Amino acid sequence: MNSKGRDNKPHIGIFGRRNNGKSSLINALTGQETAIVSDLAGTTTDPVKKSIEIPGAGPVVMIDTAGIDDTGDLGRKRIEKSLDVLKIIDFAILVVAHNQFGEPELNLISEFQKLDLPFIVVHNKSDEEKLSPAIAEAIRVNTGSTALEVSARQADTMRPLVQRIQTDMPENAYRKQTLIGDLISYGDVVLLITPIDIEAPEGRMILPQVQVIRDVLDHDGIAVVCKEREVDAFFKKMNPKPVLVVTDSQVFPKADAAIPKNILLTSFSILLARQKGDFAHYAEGTPHISKLREGDRILILESCTHHVSCDDIGRVKIPRWISGFTGKNLEFEVVAGLNRVPRPITDYAMVIQCGGCMITRRQIINRLKPAIDAGIPVSNYGMTIAYVHGIYNRAMEPFGLRGKEDYL
């Protein structure tokens, strides 16, 4: 599966053995032929991602996976792909059938628990064979909850399942923390500095800029947008002055020089880091840039794919700025999308994550978890850029912070 994480709706993964009716269950939940079904075991060979509406639960991204009991070399690869899905989902449904509950299910439940991933177990095909008391007890002992009896052929059994999805789905999978609403009051002016350069998409704005504009409006603020060259004209001509300025990270130094020191300043990327990333560990890890040593390898996680320009922010500018700041010869590796990291995470001295505008918070947290668990410092594009340009403390002030000590 080429999972780019391009949808911020809650992600639900469907797991289970071959021919347990996972695809049929998806179709029953959605009330339409969303997934391909067949009596042949192993019809779903790779994870299939589909944006759908579950009546009663709302819009979600459903991911149908290959059987966890697949065999052979190819089967093992399919299982690996199914397990990769765990890192990008908010909720899992484990489908059992015909009272089969053993090692494949227990291994998967162990993976759920390692990732602190909410999940439920359903016993499908209950019209053919009811869940036995012994298997029901085994599921309860190993999961701490009871399994649901369902049948993809009986629509009335879907209602309890939808209710469980509603009650057990993490609240933050649906509700996103505001980007800026808690920083402004009714009628406040927010100035957004948005460069139009070679990396700007033709005829439109990038997603973080659009998201911040919408968030300002949603919280009854006034959004004013200009390019960096028009900032001086704005301050000469416009009143009232903004309570906050949000800039594209690439023009942070220009914005810092142009914006009066009594006006708060931060970046789009830092706002995204607070909303969707691991802000505490970013705040702790960013100052590690000053401690990088000769030959250190830095991993840059760019969680979307795009046309790479000659002055790309993640591949060109950030490496150049960090190298210039430290005065060290450093190695940089960029991993785009949600592709696997090519080396053991311990080979890296630091990890720098993009803003993550195209993926979910859980995807970012799981992406960073191996580094954090290994004690490797992590940072974010915007916080890194602010740090190497000497304006990190100012960029953190809108959140009542002046560095890691204030946050932790």
Model pLDDT, residue 176: 63
Mean pLDDT for the chain?
A: 86
CB 244 within 8 A of CB 335: no
**Residue type (1 letter), 118:** P
CA distance linking residue 224 with residue 217, whole number of Å: 11
Instruction: Give CATH for domain 181-271.
Output: 3.40.50.11420
The 10s digit of each residue's pLDDT in 273-323 is 898 888 999 999 999 999 999 999 999 998 765 444 445 888 999 999 999
Give the residue range(s) of CATH 3.40.50.11410 domains in the chain. 280-407
Instruction: Give CATH for domain 11-174.
Output: 3.40.50.300
Confidence (pTM): 0.66
Query: Nearest 5°: CA angle at 160, between 159 and 161?
Result: 90
Give the residue range(s) of CATH 3.40.50.300 domains in the chain. 11-174
The residue among 129, 46, 123 whose CA lies nearest residue 81 is 46
Give the residue range(s) of CATH 3.40.50.11420 domains in the chain. 181-271
Residue 305, class by beta-carbon neighbours within 10 Å (0-12 exposed, 13-18 middle, 19+ buried)?
middle
The 10s digit of each residue's pLDDT in 158-209 is 889 988 888 888 766 665 678 999 999 999 999 999 988 656 666 778 888 9
Of 264-278, 305-319, 372-386, highest mean pLDDT: 372-386
Q: Which two tokens stand for residue 319?
A: 């490496």
* Helices 268-276/207-218 angle, 10° precision: 70
| The architecture CATH gives domain 280-407 | 3-Layer(aba) Sandwich (3.40)
* Helices 381-388/268-276 angle, 10° precision: 130
